[in-house]
């Protein structure tokens, strides 16, 4: 494996096992940008395969799961696990395999020449391969009470949180495929689902629209915006405004699922990596991007599944592809 710069060894402990990571090192075999399920899983696989691996975790180590409560659908946890705990365990597992994790924000990259350069505000790192695992963020409505009641009624993922909302009135915001899919899914749990859309026509595909329009449990609030979420310990009400009449109404509801799209975190790569019209990374072959040696894993390229388990799986796949790439590169030298 590649020899990096000599530096001070940092000792961390987990279950009484020493973990040696050298935080002054700047040269790595693999640099992983992002520390959600895909980044940590890629770290586990790359380190375990013997590669010198660095994860630059960004501002929110753990990614979107840090903002969730209980995760019931990640296999292996019979009684569920709290999202932040799952991410701490993944982080420690990756470290135990030998991954160096630095909680710093990447401010620039240079993928035009090899070794690839990844810059934070304080350091410049070099990697023979890079895995982009920066994820995506659900769009926010930006209304009063949205932040206060996040995780206490306000959610951005019906698959993740729907089962916690049994026998409640639930609101879904949005008019695209995600909103319709989530509204339909949530009828399994809710007494009623109120779909609030800002226009009088859905953006979702016809077949999904028909399914929702024929579902008696889904009530449509057309030309409407959600102005505010109210409650005490948990969300209890939402204020809706009809955008044509300006009339405001208060709806009693225990949940608000915001499904107005996601924004992939790809601004840094815009000039170098091929992105689709919505900013997601376009994969060329398996997890390879348009640049040989740069790979992508998780929500940063995946518009469809967006689950912790699928992100983790993509991290594993990217690491296996990195292994093949580095082995073949070494054979060519
Ligand atoms: P999307 O297609 O961009 O739809 C976003 C929806 O949210 C639109 O109806 C939009 O309203 C509304 N919206 C956006 N900003 C808003 C705001 N600030 N306030 C209120 N409403 C707002 O996003 P998506 O539904 O997440 O779908 C993303 C992609 O994934 C699409 O290509 C979709 O087809 C695909 N997808 C497919 C499936 C499936 O096939 N099973 C499931 C989910 C997603 P307007 O309509 O007025 O613009």
Tell me the pLDDT tens digit for each residue of 243-258. 999 999 999 999 999 9
In this structure, the residue with its CA closest to atom 22 of ligand 1 is 260
What pLDDT, on the 0 to 100 scale, is given for residue 32?
98
CA 202 – ligand 1 centroid, Å: 9
Length of the chain: 333
Supply the angle between the helices 206-213 and 177-186 in degrees, to the nearest 10: 30
Class of domain 8-137+263-332: alpha beta
pLDDT, the chain, mean: 91
CA 115 – ligand 1 centroid, Å: 39
Q: Is 176 in the pocket of ligand 1 (CB under 6 A)?
A: yes
Tell me the pLDDT tens digit for each residue of 2-35. 333 333 333 343 444 445 566 689 999 999 999 9
- Is the pLDDT confidence value at 37 over 90? yes
Q: Is 174 in the pocket of ligand 1 (CB under 6 A)?
A: yes
191 CA to centre of own chain? 29
Is 140-258 the same fold as 8-137+263-332? yes
Bridge partners for 256 per DSSP: 154, 171
The percentage of the chain sitting over the pLDDT mark of 70, rounded to a whole number, equals 92
What pLDDT, on the 0 to 100 scale, is given for residue 20?
52
What pLDDT, on the 0 to 100 scale, is given for residue 60?
81
- Is the pLDDT confidence value at 176 over 50? yes
Beta strands 53-56 and 100-102, pairing class: parallel
Task: Work out which ligand 1 atom sits closest to the CA atom of 181.
Answer: 42
What pLDDT, on the 0 to 100 scale, is given for residue 72?
84
Q: Exactly one of 46, 52, 160, 299 is catalytic; name it.
A: 160
- Lowest mean pLDDT across 58-62, 85-89, 102-106, 110-114: 58-62
The 3-class secondary structure across 96-122, one letter per residue, is HCCCEEECCCEEEEECCCCCEEEEECC
Cis bond before residue 266 (omega within 30° of 0): no
CA 168 – ligand 1 centroid, Å: 24
Q: Is 299 considered catalytic here? A: no
Q: Report the C-alpha gap between 297 and 319 in whole angstroms.
A: 9
What pLDDT, on the 0 to 100 scale, is given for residue 133?
98
CA 315 – ligand 1 centroid, Å: 26
Give the largest Cα separation in the chain, rounded. Answer: 71
Q: Is 140 in the pocket of ligand 1 (CB under 6 A)?
A: no
Placement of tokens 């961390």 in the chain: 12
Mean of pLDDT values over 181-209: 95
Q: Is 321 considered catalytic here? A: no
Q: Is 261 in the pocket of ligand 1 (CB under 6 A)?
A: yes
CA 262 – ligand 1 centroid, Å: 8
Q: Read off the tokens for 69.
A: 């409560």
Q: Is 219 in the pocket of ligand 1 (CB under 6 A)?
A: no
Class of domain 140-258: alpha beta
Q: Is 103 considered catalytic here? A: no
| CA distances to 36, 96, 217 from 66, in Å | 9, 21, 32
Domain map of the chain by residue range?
8-137+263-332, 140-258
Q: Is 199 in the pocket of ligand 1 (CB under 6 A)?
A: yes
In this structure, the residue with its CA closest to atom 35 of ligand 1 is 177
Q: Is 279 in the pocket of ligand 1 (CB under 6 A)?
A: no
The percentage of the chain sitting over the pLDDT mark of 90, rounded to a whole number, equals 81
Residue 49, sorted as left (phi over 0), alpha (psi -120 to 50) or beta, turns out to be: alpha
- Is the pLDDT confidence value at 309 over 60? yes
pLDDT band at 103 (very low <50, low <70, confident <90, very high): very high
């Amino acid at each position: 494996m590649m020899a990096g710069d000599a530096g001070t060894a940092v000792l961390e402990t987990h279950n009484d096992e020493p973990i040696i990571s050298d935080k002054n090192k700047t040269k790595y075999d693999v640099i992983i940008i992002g520390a959600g399920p895909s980044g940590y899983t890629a770290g586990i696989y790359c380190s375990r395969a013997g590669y010198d691996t660095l994860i630059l975790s960004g501002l929110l180590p753990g990614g979107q799961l840090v903002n969730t409560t209980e995760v019931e659908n990640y296999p292996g946890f019979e009684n569920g696990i709290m999202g932040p705990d799952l991410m701490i365990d993944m982080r420690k597992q990756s470290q135990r395999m030998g991954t160096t994790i630095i909680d710093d924000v990447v401010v620039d990259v240079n993928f035009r020449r090899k070794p690839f350069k990844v810059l934070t505000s304080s350091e410049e790192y070099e990697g023979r391969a890079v895995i982009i695992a920066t994820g995506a963020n659900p769009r926010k409505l930006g209304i009063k009470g949205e932040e206060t009641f996040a995780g206490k009624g306000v959610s951005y993922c019906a698959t993740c949180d729907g089962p916690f909302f049994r026998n409640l009135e639930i609101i879904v915001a949005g008019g695209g495929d995600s909103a319709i899919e989530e509204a339909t899914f949530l009828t399994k749990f809710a007494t009623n689902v109120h779909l609030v859309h800002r226009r009088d026509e859905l953006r979702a595909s016809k077949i999904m629209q028909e399914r929702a329009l024929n579902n008696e449990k889904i009530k449509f609030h057309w030309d409407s915006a959600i102005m505010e979420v109210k409650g005490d310990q948990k969300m209890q009400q939402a204020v809706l405004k009809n955008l044509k009449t300006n009339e405001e109404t208060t709806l009693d509801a225990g949940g608000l699922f915001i499904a107005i799209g996601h924004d992939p975190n790809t601004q840094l790569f815009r000039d170098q990596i091929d992105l689709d019209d919505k900013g997601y990374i376009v994969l060329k072959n398996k997890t390879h991007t348009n640049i040989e040696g740069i790979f992508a894993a998780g929500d940063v390229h995946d518009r469809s599944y967006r689950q912790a388990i699928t992100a983790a799986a993509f991290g594993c796949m990217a690491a296996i592809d990195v292994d093949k790439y580095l082995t073949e590169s070494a054979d060519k030298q």
